Chains A and B, each alone.
Chain A
Amino acid sequence: MFRAINKVAKNSKALKNQTEVIRCLSAQPQTKSKQTPRAEKAAKPNLSFVHNLFRGQVESSQVFPYPIALNQEQIEYVGAFVDPVSKFFSEVNNADRNDMNAQVDEETLKHLWELGAFGLQVPQELGGLELNNTQYGRLAEIIGMNDLGLGIVIGAHQSIGFKGILLYGTKEQKEKYLPKVSSGGVYAAFALTEPSSGSDAASIKCRAVKSADGKHYILNGSKIWISNGGIADIMTVFAQTEVLDEATGQKKDKVTAFIVERGFGGVSNGPPEKKMGIKCSNTAEVYFEDVKIPVENVLGKEGEGFKVAMNILNNGRFGMGMTLGGTMRYCIQKATDHATQRTQFGKKLESYGGIQEKLARMSVLQYVNQSIAYMISGNMDLGSNDYHLEAAISKVFASEAAWYVCDEAIQILGGMGFMRDTQLERFMRDLRIFRIFEGTNDILRLFVALTGIQYAGSHLKEVQKAFQNPAANLGLIFKEASKRASSYIGLGGVDMTGLVEPSLKNSAKLCGESIDMFARTVESLLIKYGKKIVDEQFLLNRLADSAIDIYAMASSLSRASSALKSNSPTADFEKLMVETWCVEASDRVRINLRKIHSAEFNENYKRMSVISKKLCEAHDIVHNNPIGV
């Protein structure tokens, strides 16, 4: 991905249009080929809240009312699983031992297979439990409360390892592989990352060459940091293949996804990597040497591997929000236990404002994160395809919120939190990877900002076009003109107060104002930088942070509104948390957006670029210490 950015920087004119640039940058696959007529594209409106946020419009259909995709029976179904899964963790699994031994013992794994934890979303007739995303997420929450390392063993297996077969597999592929991986004791892995290809996934070097008779591919290359890489017998592997472009008649390298069995021969792996956290999860290099893959093991279409990879990752991202919601809950339990028991200076810790602020923030973050995660899984289960920016936001939010919450829990416990027995130090180590893997938060921020800007930009183009033929497009022009006029005179084009329960009106107003300010910023960035905005990462990051805060406000406002409407026993408490969140989040949005416009801050970004450049030249700090020796 960074390669793509550099390319743009070097030769931005060479790129045909903005759409192309951002597709390369994004973690979202281009779902339609370039040949697709524009008219068809316009036919299906994008229902994503975050996409439309960049245009200053509130697309509320996926946010209000709070989407719950489960009926009573489905709730009872997953409810019956909560106890046995919790019991597994309290009676069978030992997270501390898993961490210490850097592996999960056979006995525990056997229990886990019996429990059915490896095929949660596989259809029942193929050996799984056929859970939808929300139900899966509910169980992931329990895993996150107990053992993140074990969570990765389970998640790498089904959330990405064989998810491709579930999403893109043919009937034959599903029938052949899913029973094995859901209940047959066979582990799966997802093999995308390579030594020279991390965030820039399209640049992989593994290569599969079709045999002369067209019946096989011969795969060569290697992958690194593959979760379950040392234990998986079935892998989803991505490799370059030569594909004929039908339009131009030219041959071109394109990524293709394959289902590779270890049994094909030529598959081997390195020793387990030694890691900072999630130690019990096996991470290893995987090597492919003349691996003979039958053509029927192509997953999805030939040449569409990049799309397959990105959709698997997009599809699995929501699970992280669920899992880490559980982790945060554990941290809060530990912190409140300590705060209510520990006396210092003659008073319980809980009576001090400093501790109260920490605990409150922890709870608010847990609530907001959970609201986002369940909103996305709800939308996915209701059939939405417009959730990719939301899922990216959820991943960023969850991994950073959990890091913060765990860190604060340790701080509240003081020295006790630093000790192994409390288990918080293990969670802290385990949590660190969540900001890195499955799309780093840095890349996902750019993905959110640039995809959003692209969406807003394409809309602006339509408006420009309309002006070329005003007579035929009067409606659109008037609508646009009135929208702009109202936002410029400061009335606020966005009013969300009608979407929430009356008692949350003030919070909704803060969210609406943030959206107004946000959209104006997007517009001014587009006017000022055009497609060169891709180079402005200092600004894009602040824009992304604002988008995250705004989506977080909207999701939690919606959830609390639903709670108030249904007279939930915790509704008033939820309202309290959302009010707290909206005051802080909207304030942050204001500050972040100001830092985009402010000349003083823009000057600072230049300074920072210079500082960084000097460091990188020196490969060290540039200054000496004050005493000069």
Chain B
Amino acid sequence: MSRVLVGVKRVIDYAVKIRVKPDKSGVVTEGVKHSMNPFDEIAVEEAVKMKEKKLASEVIALSVGPPQSQETLRTALAMGVDRGIHIEISGKDYEMLQPIHISKMFAKIAQDEKCDLIVLGKQAIDDDSNQTAQMTAAVLDWPQAVFASAVEKTDGGLKVVREIDGGLETITTKLPAVVSADLRLNIPRYATLPNIMKAKKKPIKKLSAADVGVDIKPRIEVISVEDPPIRQAGSIVPDIDTLVSKLKEAGHVK
């Protein structure tokens, strides 16, 4: 195996309380702390481990997004990724970008860079699409092993343990392939300060959507983004009989 491509998405930090824009067109991102999508951190960790075990010769990280995505790439570089590619898309274009566009970009970069394996987070915590890995495999016509909780190199390819409903499924796949990382695949390292420093010197190539020949015209339209309904105040009932009758009243039990 020679080259691994990982995806790193810049998302609103998991600890931030999300606020919806007053015009319901989306959520507030300005002045809000962003960080790398946690599932992508797991993907990066897996790729870097492969390199440390000499199973991969080079790890490339790709991020699609606004100029600040470079910071996310720097984090990946500090974690041990060798070089970064940034496809810059911002403003309205970025807001409307969908997994279909991203997967085409990953496919193109994987071919251009002659990658043998793509590792992606299973989903991003902002839009929760859970589509990019699957679509990328489809575009490339590569095998896919999604929701991986263990990845092992075998002679012919990979042995991947998948987290599925009700248990674990072990599959083997040939390479090249697309893997998506689930939560329990590994515990990602955090970047140390000396590595952050060294990451400053690692290269990041900047491209545009046109450079990779992907048409980013939106396929869908966002009609409205709304807050979840506010939880109603509860009340304390004196006994079980009252509780049951109240539940019946509200139509929760028959």
Contact = CB atoms under 8 A, between A and B. Distances in A.
B74 interface: yes
Contact of B35 (A81, A83, A88): A83
A293 B16 CA distance: 56
B194 A80 contact: no
Contacts of B196: 80-81, 84
B94 interface: no
Contacts of A116: 192-194, 197
B188 to A, nearest CB: 11
Interface in A313-363: none
Given A77-B200, A124-B197, A129-B197, A114 B192 contact: yes
Output the residue of B75, B192, B193 with the most chain A CB within 10 A. Answer: B193
25 contacts: A76-B71, A77-B200, A80-B71, A80-B74, A80-B78, A81-B193, A83-B190, A84-B190, A84-B193, A84-B196, A85-B193, A91-B190, A115-B193, A116-B192, A116-B193, A116-B194, A116-B197, A117-B193, A120-B193, A124-B197, A129-B193, A129-B194, A129-B197, A130-B197, A183-B194
B16 to A, nearest CB: 13
Nearest to B31: A569
Contact of B191 (A76, A84, A130): A84
A80 B200 CA distance: 11
A255 B145 CA distance: 70
Interface string B61-87: 000000000010011001000000000
Interface of B is mostly: helix
Give the size category of A's interface with B: 10 to 19
Interface of B: 35, 71, 74-75, 78, 190-194, 196-197, 200
Given A115-B192, A183-B194, 11 more contacts: A76-B71, A83-B190, A84-B190, A84-B193, A85-B193, A88-B190, A115-B193, A116-B192, A120-B193, A129-B193, A129-B194
A10 interface: no
Nearest to B200: A77
Interface of A: 76-77, 80-81, 83-85, 87-88, 91, 114-117, 120, 124, 129-130, 183
Contacts of B74: 80
Contacts of A83: 35, 190
Contacts of A85: 193
B246 to A, nearest CB: 28
Output the residue of B74, B75, B192 with the most chain A CB within 10 A. Answer: B192
A120 B193 CA distance: 9
Nearest to B199: A80
A210 to B, nearest CB: 40
A80 B35 CA distance: 11
A336 to B, nearest CB: 17
Nearest to A130: B197
Contacts of A88: 190
Contacts of B197: 77, 116, 124, 129-130
Contacts of A76: 71
A581 B118 CA distance: 58
A91 B188 CA distance: 13
Which 5 A-B residue pairings sit nearest by Cβ, starting from the closest? Answer: A116-B193, A116-B194, A84-B190, A80-B196, A87-B190
A88 B192 CA distance: 10
A183 B35 CA distance: 28
A130 B194 CA distance: 10
Contacts of A87: 190
A81 B191 CA distance: 9
Contacts of B200: 77
Contacts of B75: 80
A121 to B, nearest CB: 12
Nearest to A92: B190
Contacts of A117: 193
Contacts of A77: 197, 200
Contacts of A130: 197
B237 to A, nearest CB: 24
A124 B193 CA distance: 11
A157 to B, nearest CB: 15
A81 B197 CA distance: 9
A85 B193 CA distance: 8
